[in-house]
Amino acid sequence: MNTENTSDKLEGIIVPMVTPLLSNGELDRKGTERLIRHLTQGGVHGIFILGTTGEASSLKPAIKKELIEITCKESQGQHLVLAGITHTALDVSLKIAKTAKENGAEAVVAAPPYYFHLDQDDLFKYYIRLADLSPLPLFLYNFPVMTKITLEPETVQKLSQHPNIIGIKDSSGNGVYFQNLLELKKGNSEFSVLIGPEEMLAQSVFSGGDGGVNGGANIFPSLYVRLFEAAKNHDFEMVNKIQPLILEISKNIYGCSPKSSSYLCGVKESLYYLGICEPHIAPPLQTVDALTKEKIVQNLEKIIFKIKSI
């Protein structure tokens, strides 16, 4: 990672950016620009596009290309940009990686291919080939709920020896698994280990993790940066002030509906309330009902009030 204002190791709050969409399904360009400014002004350490929060699996290729171009342009080399390249076809992943490289992104992120069941040897060989061919450094992405398979710690350990594989994002929510990942760092201190579930961010940093890829940072970027910095500096008093708000965001913004789209709707409705971007989500997911949207806004206002008192 060779950018002017970053170290070689990727750490901090790497926000998994939502993909702002218009009602016709096209990219909300102005909303995207506003969102990127919102994130960078909030002090995030990097922006990860085309991940789960970015609805990458539901976007057509033209939107992915457009989003990469806008994000890299708006970041202007001042903030790390990571582009998701997860796909069931290796060549498609590499094509996205090439677009990311051409536009100035610093790294790519790939979860396992998610249709056929792969054993650990299959996964190892797949990632080695992807890393060999990728024009950018590769970040692994463990998310078994979505991919039906876990990147076992032994496989991650072997992959971490590849010079073009620089870290892993773990969204399993499994604390024991995460601790096993941290053991890998003892032999490779430059290998970054980031946590997905934000409820676990502070504890993961206390344990030696390098930061988080946390969806709530779309709404409150500076809050998550403050939590990361407090945890890194062992400022337990500040952590204890912020942690309840992180849990409240999870429960009352993401969890307002039993629908599969509840998390995404919570984030996008919050951004819409803040005047940043449109709230639309991509099919096949469907938005929540009007009453739930009202509840999200009510809960958001309460959280905003509490943040001001910290």
The token pair at 260 is: 């599969």
Cβ neighbours around 214 below 10 Å, total: 29
Respond yes or no on whether the N-terminal peptide bond of residue 137 is cis (omega within 30° of 0): no
- Least Cα distance to 209 among 236, 234, 182, 175 occurs for 182
Cβ neighbours around 14 below 10 Å, total: 30
The token pair at 266 is: 């919570």
Kindly give, in sequence order, each residue whose CB lies less than 8 Å from that of residue 201, ignoring residues fewer than 6 positions away. 195, 211, 212, 214, 224, 227, 228, 231, 246
- Least Cα distance to 210 among 12, 46, 1 occurs for 12
**Strand 107-110 versus strand 12-16 pairing type:** unpaired
The token pair at 176 is: 């024991």
C-beta of residue 205 within 8 angstroms of C-beta of residue 228 = yes
C-beta of residue 125 within 8 angstroms of C-beta of residue 100 = no
- Least Cα distance to 165 among 198, 195, 130 occurs for 130
Place of tokens 């709707």: 265
The token pair at 237 is: 């008093």
Kindly give, in sequence order, each residue whose CB lies less than 8 Å from that of residue 265, ignoring residues fewer than 6 positions away. 256, 257, 259, 279, 281, 287, 288, 292, 293, 296
Catalytic residues: 141, 169
